[in-house]
Chains A and B, each alone.
Chain A
Amino acid sequence: MTDTPDWNAYEAEAAAAAQAAASSDDLEEARVRFLGRKSDIALGLREVRDRETGMLLNGVRTRLEETFDTRAARLADDELDRRLRDEIVDVTLPGDELPLGHLHPITQIRRMVEDAFLGLGYEVRDDREVETVEYNFDKLAFLPTHSARSPRDTFFFDPNHVLRTETSPSQIHIMEEKEPPLYMVSIGRVYRRDAITATRYPIFHQFEGLAVDRGLTLADLKGTLLHVMRALYGPERKVRFRTHYFPFTEPSIEPDVSCGICLGSGCRTCKYSGWIEMGGAGMVDPTVLANVGLDPEEWSGFAFGCGLERTAQLRHDIPDIRALWEGDLRVLRQF
Chain B
Amino acid sequence: MRVPVSWLRDYVAMDMSLTELATKLSIASAEIEGIETRGVADEGGNLGLFRIGKVREAIKHPNADRLQLTKVDLGEAEPRSIVCGAWNFGVGATVAVALPGATIPARPGLPDGLTLERRKVRGEISDGMILAEDEIGLGADHEGIMVFPEIEPGTLLADVVPLSDKVLLVEATGNRPDLQSIYGIAREIAAIYDLDLAEAPGLIPVGTPGGPVKIQVGDFERCSRYVGTIVQGVTVGHSPLIMKARLLGAGMRPISNVVDITNYVMLTLGSPLHAFDLATLNGGGINVRRASDGEKLTTLDGVERVLTADDLVIADDARAVALAGIMGGAETEVSADTHTILLEAANFESHGVFRSSERHRLRSEASGRFEKGVDPQLADQAARWATELIVEFAGGTWTSWNDVHAGLPARPFVEFRPERADAVIGVKTTPDEQFRILGKLGFEQEGTGVIVPSWRARDVTREIDIVEEIARFRLEEVPFTLPQRREMFGVLTREQKLRRRLEDALVGLGFAETYTPSLRPDDETTWKLPEPISVDLTALRTTILPSLVEAVARNIDAGAKNIALFEVARVYLPGDGDLPTERVRVAGIVEGGFSRAKGVVETVYAALKAEPAFARGEHRLLHPGKAATTGAGIVGELHPRELDGEWGAFELDLDDLFAASREPITYTDVITYPAVRQDIAVVVGEGVAAGDIVATARTAAGAELREIRVFDVYRGEQLGAGKKSVAFSVAYQADDRTLNDEDATRLRDAIINALATEFGAELRA
Residue on B nearest A297 in the bound complex, by CB? B420
Q: Are B480 and A332 in contact (CB under 8 A)?
A: no
Q: Are A119 and B483 in contact (CB under 8 A)?
A: no
User: Does B101 have its Cβ within 8 Å of any Cβ on chain A?
Assistant: no
Residue on B nearest A324 in the bound complex, by CB? B515
Residue on B nearest A241 in the bound complex, by CB? B475
User: Does A263 have its Cβ within 8 Å of any Cβ on chain B?
Assistant: no
Interfacial chain A residues near B487, Cβ < 8 Å:
181
User: Does A40 have its Cβ within 8 Å of any Cβ on chain B?
Assistant: no
A157 to chain B, nearest CB (A): 6
Residue on A nearest B358 in the bound complex, by CB? A150
Q: Are A328 and B558 in contact (CB under 8 A)?
A: yes
B158 to chain A, nearest CB (A): 27
User: Does B318 have its Cβ within 8 Å of any Cβ on chain A?
Assistant: no
A158 and B580 CA atoms in complex are apart in Å by: 13
A218 and B515 CA atoms in complex are apart in Å by: 35
Interfacial chain B residues near A267, Cβ < 8 Å:
none
Given A129-B518, A152-B358, A189-B570; A157-B481 close (CB under 8 Å): no
User: Does B643 have its Cβ within 8 Å of any Cβ on chain A?
Assistant: no
Interfacial chain B residues near A183, Cβ < 8 Å:
483, 485, 488, 490
Number of A-B contacts defined by CB within 8 Å: 239
> 8 Å CB contacts to A: which residues of B497-533?
500, 503-504, 506-519, 527-533
Given A120-B490, A243-B472, A245-B173; A145-B507 close (CB under 8 Å): no
- Stretch from A7-15, A52-60, A62-70, A96-104 at the B interface: A96-104
Residue on B nearest A239 in the bound complex, by CB? B480
B180 to chain A, nearest CB (A): 13
A190 to chain B, nearest CB (A): 11
User: Does A167 have its Cβ within 8 Å of any Cβ on chain B?
Assistant: no
Q: Are B564 and A243 in contact (CB under 8 A)?
A: no
Residue among A152, A195, A250, A300 with most chain B CB within 10 A: A250
> 8 Å CB contacts to A: which residues of B527-583?
527-533, 537, 540, 548, 551-552, 554-555, 558, 560, 562-566, 568-570, 572, 578-580, 582
Residue among B475, B518, B565 with most chain A CB within 10 A: B475
Interfacial chain B residues near A251, Cβ < 8 Å:
424-425, 464, 467-468, 471-472
Interfacial chain A residues near B425, Cβ < 8 Å:
217-219, 251
Instruction: Point out the residue from A123, A226, A328 that lies within 8 Å of B554, measured CB to CB.
Output: A328
A129 and B572 CA atoms in complex are apart in Å by: 9
Q: SS class of chain A's interface: helix, strand, loop or mixed?
A: mixed
Residue on B nearest A193 in the bound complex, by CB? B533
Interfacial chain A residues near B555, Cβ < 8 Å:
327-329
Q: Are B554 and A326 in contact (CB under 8 A)?
A: yes
- Stretch from A29-37, A41-49, A82-90, A106-114 at the B interface: A106-114
Instruction: Point out the residue from A161, A223, A245, A324 that lies within 8 Å of B579, measured CB to CB.
Output: A161
- Stretch from B22-30, B71-79, B401-409 at the A interface: B22-30
Instruction: Point out the residue from B423, B492, B554, B578 that lies within 8 Å of A161, measured CB to CB.
Output: B578
A99 and B580 CA atoms in complex are apart in Å by: 37
Q: Are B507 and A155 in contact (CB under 8 A)?
A: no
Q: Are A102 and B533 in contact (CB under 8 A)?
A: no
Q: Are A111 and B500 in contact (CB under 8 A)?
A: yes
Instruction: Point out the residue from B481, B492, B572 that lies within 8 Å of A217, measured CB to CB.
Output: B481
Q: Are A202 and B533 in contact (CB under 8 A)?
A: yes
Q: Are A283 and B490 in contact (CB under 8 A)?
A: no
User: Does B465 have its Cβ within 8 Å of any Cβ on chain A?
Assistant: yes
Contact with B along A102-140 (1 / 0, CB 8 A): 111011000100100111111110001110100000000
User: Does B427 have its Cβ within 8 Å of any Cβ on chain A?
Assistant: yes
Interfacial chain A residues near B174, Cβ < 8 Å:
143, 146-147, 245
Instruction: Point out the residue from A101, A155, A158, A327 that lies within 8 Å of B515, measured CB to CB.
Output: A327
Q: Are B27 and A240 in contact (CB under 8 A)?
A: yes
Residue on A nearest B173 in the bound complex, by CB? A245
User: Does A144 have its Cβ within 8 Å of any Cβ on chain B?
Assistant: yes
Contact residues on B (Cβ < 8 Å of other chain), bracket: 35 or more
Residue on A nearest B575 in the bound complex, by CB? A130
Residue among B34, B516, B572, B579 with most chain A CB within 10 A: B579
B681 to chain A, nearest CB (A): 32
User: Does B671 have its Cβ within 8 Å of any Cβ on chain A?
Assistant: no
Q: Are A101 and B465 in contact (CB under 8 A)?
A: no
Q: Are A222 and B480 in contact (CB under 8 A)?
A: yes
A61 and B371 CA atoms in complex are apart in Å by: 115
Interfacial chain A residues near B426, Cβ < 8 Å:
217-220, 222
Interfacial chain A residues near B513, Cβ < 8 Å:
101-104, 107, 332
User: Does B496 have its Cβ within 8 Å of any Cβ on chain A?
Assistant: yes
User: Does A151 have its Cβ within 8 Å of any Cβ on chain B?
Assistant: yes
Interfacial chain A residues near B471, Cβ < 8 Å:
218, 243, 251
Q: Are B518 and A327 in contact (CB under 8 A)?
A: no
- Stretch from A16-24, A73-81, A208-216 at the B interface: A208-216
A266 and B569 CA atoms in complex are apart in Å by: 38
Instruction: Point out the residue from A130, A158, A215 that lies within 8 Å of B572, measured CB to CB.
Output: A130
Contact residues on A (Cβ < 8 Å of other chain), bracket: 35 or more
Contact with A along B100-116 (1 / 0, CB 8 A): 00000000000000000
Interfacial chain B residues near A38, Cβ < 8 Å:
none
A226 and B480 CA atoms in complex are apart in Å by: 8
Given A130-B579, A145-B371, A286-B464; A219-B512 close (CB under 8 Å): no
Instruction: Point out the residue from A114, A223, A243, A283 that lies within 8 Å of B424, measured CB to CB.
Output: A283
Residue among B479, B515, B528 with most chain A CB within 10 A: B515
Interfacial chain B residues near A244, Cβ < 8 Å:
31, 173
Given A130-B572, A217-B424, A240-B27; A224-B533 close (CB under 8 Å): no
B650 to chain A, nearest CB (A): 15
User: Does A173 have its Cβ within 8 Å of any Cβ on chain B?
Assistant: no
> 8 Å CB contacts to A: which residues of B23-55?
23, 26-31, 34
User: Does A172 have its Cβ within 8 Å of any Cβ on chain B?
Assistant: no
Q: Are B176 and A242 in contact (CB under 8 A)?
A: no
Interfacial chain B residues near A129, Cβ < 8 Å:
518, 570, 572, 582
Interfacial chain B residues near A166, Cβ < 8 Å:
none
Interfacial chain A residues near B305, Cβ < 8 Å:
none
Interfacial chain A residues near B565, Cβ < 8 Å:
327, 329
Interfacial chain B residues near A227, Cβ < 8 Å:
482
User: Does B351 have its Cβ within 8 Å of any Cβ on chain A?
Assistant: yes
Residue on B nearest A144 in the bound complex, by CB? B351
Q: Are B511 and A101 in contact (CB under 8 A)?
A: yes
Q: Are B514 and A332 in contact (CB under 8 A)?
A: yes
Q: Are B483 and A101 in contact (CB under 8 A)?
A: no
Q: Are A151 and B29 in contact (CB under 8 A)?
A: no
Q: Are A124 and B492 in contact (CB under 8 A)?
A: yes
Q: Are A219 and B479 in contact (CB under 8 A)?
A: yes
User: Does A278 have its Cβ within 8 Å of any Cβ on chain B?
Assistant: no
B272 to chain A, nearest CB (A): 16
Instruction: Point out the residue from A120, A145, A202, A250 that lies within 8 Å of B465, measured CB to CB.
Output: A250
Given A130-B579, A202-B533, A328-B558; A107-B564 close (CB under 8 Å): no
Residue among A124, A216, A251 with most chain B CB within 10 A: A251
A330 and B514 CA atoms in complex are apart in Å by: 12
Q: Beyond A327-B514, A328-B555: 15 further Cβ-contacts under 8 Å?
A: A101-B510, A102-B512, A124-B490, A129-B570, A152-B358, A217-B423, A219-B481, A222-B481, A224-B483, A242-B475, A243-B468, A243-B471, A250-B464, A327-B552, A332-B512
Which 8 A-B residue pairings sit nearest by Cβ, starting from the closest?
A99-B510, A219-B426, A217-B426, A327-B551, A245-B173, A101-B507, A327-B514, A251-B468
What are some 30 contacts across the A-B interface (CB < 8 A)? A99-B564, A100-B508, A114-B492, A123-B491, A124-B493, A124-B496, A130-B572, A144-B351, A145-B354, A183-B485, A211-B483, A213-B485, A215-B423, A217-B425, A219-B425, A219-B480, A220-B426, A222-B478, A240-B476, A241-B475, A241-B478, A242-B31, A242-B475, A243-B471, A251-B467, A254-B31, A296-B464, A324-B515, A329-B512, A329-B560
Q: Taking beta carbons and an 8 Å cutoff, which residues of B are in contact with A?
A: 23, 26-31, 34, 173-176, 350-351, 354, 358, 371-372, 423-427, 462, 464-465, 467-468, 471-472, 475-476, 478-493, 496, 500, 503-504, 506-519, 527-533, 537, 540, 548, 551-552, 554-555, 558, 560, 562-566, 568-570, 572, 578-580, 582
